[in-house]
Amino acid sequence: MDIELASLARRQDGVISQDDLLTRKLSRRAQQRLFETQWLRTVAPGVFAVAGAPDTHRMRLRIGLLSLGEHSWVSYESAAALHGLDRSRPYAVEFTIMRETRRKPRSFTVHTTKWMPAIDRVDVAGLRCTSATRTLIDLAHSRAHRERIEAAIDSAVRLGSSAPRVLAERLETLRGSGRWGCRLIDDLLIDSGGHSPLERRFLELMRTAGLPRPTTQAIHRKHGRHIARVDFLFEDHGIVVEVTGRLGHVSDLERARDAQRRNELQDIGLIVYEYTSTDVFTQRQMVVHTMQSRLAAAA
């Protein structure tokens, strides 16, 4: 066993490439012996797995990157999973290569592109990958379902890996290429900025009712100390709105923290209201009417 090759394989998820063997300057006979002893086995053109290495999703992604060459990136659903975007397919194996490369092994799902500028490329846990922003645009281009794109955008905002402004700016650059899906993202950006489908629906309710758009994820401090990050702030009205899921916070400790948080927000002069997911999704008129009354009273 070659110790240096074994160490390299550990860093590369159990696989090495033909280029790795050439860099080691192993003789043809030495390379042949690695295969005869079954220390190496071919898993893709020019890529070999080390005996005993577990067959993991990361290994499959690494195999694709090594086989496709340095101008290849984990992309689409695979990139969405690496970035931790909601509703991703965790075992997808998809890549993007430059169009002129023309290397498309049948064992991979491979997309091609004319452009992959530095702004669209990142390293995620040691794997070459499209950025979260480029991944969102690619998912729309692949005609993924609208709700799937919504969830991906909202989770990217929540995780801090993209932002509505960044996505809009990048979209403008790609729009001229006639890329399908740009209009869909335009539509979804209108009510983006929240961290969940529930927050998105609340923003949609405010917009369609002609009410002011609140600031999303506003941070409040008191005497330099962080008090809370709130879902929505109607700053001109001094109103905070929180939306909570079906279960919400149910433990005594969580309820105590919520009460303290609400009290401290009220201490700095804010009025705090809360709507549940049931309110937002099924009692839409009630939410709109109460918000109209509350904003009018605060004004």
Q: Which residue has the higher pLDDT, 228 or 103?
A: 228
**Fold of the domain built from segment(s) 197-298:** Endonuclease; Chain A (3.40.960)
Q: Which residue has the higher pLDDT, 50 or 102?
A: 50
pLDDT surpasses 70 at 1 = no
> Where are the domains positioned within the chain?
3-53, 59-189, 197-298
Write down the pLDDT at residue 31.
Answer: 85
Rounded Cα distance between 121 and 73, Å, is 8
Query: Which residues are paired to 226 by β-bridges?
Result: 221
pLDDT per position as a tens digit, 127-175? 999 999 999 999 999 988 999 999 999 999 999 999 999 999 998 887 6
Rounded Cα distance between 251 and 188, Å, is 35
pLDDT per position as a tens digit, 232-255? 999 999 999 999 986 555 667 877
Write down the pLDDT at residue 29.
Answer: 87
**Averaged pLDDT, 72-77:** 97
Cβ(88)–Cβ(78) below 8 Å: no
Write down the pLDDT at residue 47.
Answer: 94
Write down the pLDDT at residue 94.
Answer: 96
